[in-house]
Amino acid sequence: MAENRGVVFLGQNKVEVQSIDFPKMQNPAGKKVGHGVILKVVSTNICGSDQHMVRGRTTAPTGMVLGHEITGEVIEAGSDVEYIKVGDLVTVPFNVACGRCRTCREQQTGVCLNVNPGRAGGAYGYVDMGGWIGGQAEFVFVPYADFNLIPFPDKAQAMEKILDLTMLSDILPTGFHGAVTAGVGVGSTVYVAGAGPVGMAAAASAQILGAAVVLVGDMNTDRLKHVADVGFVPVDLREGDNLGELIEKILGKPEVDAAIDAVGFEAKAQGKNGQEAPATVLNSLMSVVRAAGGIGIPGLYVTEDPGAADAAGKTGNLSLRFGLGWAKSHRFYTGQTPVLKYNRQLMQAILHGRIPIAKIVNATVISLGDAAEGYKAFDSGAAKKFVLDPHGLLGK
């Protein structure tokens, strides 16, 4: 039996690289299947969504192998796989999707009806997402390969841009989805809440969609500096508790055409002593988005949060000023990104130099063995996107 190692969740604020089972051609229920492949993982990223679990803010069980951002080389293909070949270098959308159900046929692969017995939607290495083993590992099983996987047309060219292409598994399409669903277009003024990797990907997406100006708000000094360094407009939320006033200082009026929530349920209130306030981002966005504008919400919200400060938050209930959004005829779009809907066009944008996403999110390569240190640094607010290199193929 070949060996394998993976990043295992061991409880609040504790992860460890351990020996894990080599992947088998079977689903989480143990049924053997022929529609999948086994990948040698070339790159796999630490995501802010992983941090929610590691912080103890979900019901994730200990022993879970983490990781849903995966790029890899096919080393074995199941008997029912027709079009993906051994040797292909592929990007893996984080959504596990069958390609056969109603929602998959509607390009809503984030809520596939067949891959998770508990609810609509599946993902690798994530709580309540069907039990699929995560890809922060040396090797991983990917089901429904012909539908899910996108091979890069030229392996050598792809490896030259691998730090950009590794973002296709999640954060680039997630940021793009947020911008598209917020209605960003040519000449738009855009505000992005959160300067983490998804927020930066959303800012880059707004730019490529034609935004006139992209503002990015945060309370982390290093992240705000990085926002400016890569060409966006930082908004320091520590400078006041009224977002409209901060925006007015920059744009001359306290509103934008579109906004993107790249923070989610662990948001903190504006001001110098911001405390956790899960609804604060959504409420502030409703206050600054113009009448008939749009709000894209790729930031994660959960149905169960054991670490919430109040009883309502523990079941995902937020104190939203929804009447304001209704009165302003806002459009809201939520949910997991249907990655396959965007990945081919974003791959082409990367390969042809239109979106240098690795620079924009400050992609930083570390070894698989250093994953625990990467989690700690990311949790402390480092202005970086950590990319794990399980087989030493990426360079430094």
User: What is 5-170+338-389's CATH topology?
Assistant: Quinone Oxidoreductase; Chain A, domain 1 (3.90.180)
| Nearest-5° Cα angle at 212, 195 to 326 | 75
Count Cβ neighbours within 10 Å for each residue of 160-177 and write b for 16 or more, e otherwise.
Answer: ebbbbbbbbbbbbbbbbb
The pLDDT value given to residue 313: 84
Same fold, 5-170+338-389 and 174-334: no
CB 94, CB 339: distance < 8 Å: yes
- Structure-block tokens of residue 272: 């110098």
Give me the CATH topology for the region 174-334. Rossmann fold (3.40.50)
Query: Model-level pTM?
Result: 0.96
What are the C-alpha distances in Å from 29 to residues 5, 59, 64, 181, 225? 22, 20, 15, 35, 47
Residue-range domain boundaries for the chain: 5-170+338-389, 174-334
Residue pair 376/356 in contact (Cβ under 8 Å)? The answer is: no
Burial of 281 (0-12, 13-18, 19+ CB in 10 A): buried
Looking at residue 156, its pLDDT comes to: 96
In this prediction, residue 73 carries a pLDDT of 98
Dump the DSSP string for 14-46.
EEEEEE-PPP-SB-TT--B-SS-EEEEEEEEE-
- What local confidence, expressed as pLDDT, does residue 273 receive? 66
What's the confidence (pLDDT) of residue 265? 86
How many other C-beta atoms lie within 10 A of the C-beta of residue 33?
Answer: 16
> Which pLDDT score is estimated for 68?
98
Distance (Å, whole) CA 36 – CA 25 = 7
Q: Could you give the CA distance from residue 253 to residue 269 in angstroms, rounded to a whole number?
A: 22
CA neighbor of 196 nearest in space, from 358, 46, 361, 374:
361
Residues 323-375: tens digit of each pLDDT: 999 999 999 999 999 999 999 999 999 999 999 999 999 999 999 999 999 99
Stretches where the chain sits below pLDDT 50 are none
Q: Looking at 174-316, which runs of residues are DSSP E strands? A: 189-193, 213-218, 233-236, 256-261, 289-297
What confidence score (pLDDT) does residue 36 get?
Answer: 98
| Cα–Cα distances in angstroms (integers) from residue 83 to residues 37, 204, 223, 347, in the given order | 11, 32, 42, 19
pLDDT at position 186:
98
Please tell me the predicted confidence (pLDDT) of residue 35. 98
Helix, strand or coil for residue 152? coil
The confidence score (pLDDT) of residue 309 equals 80
Q: Which pLDDT score, from 0 to 100, does residue 1 have?
A: 55
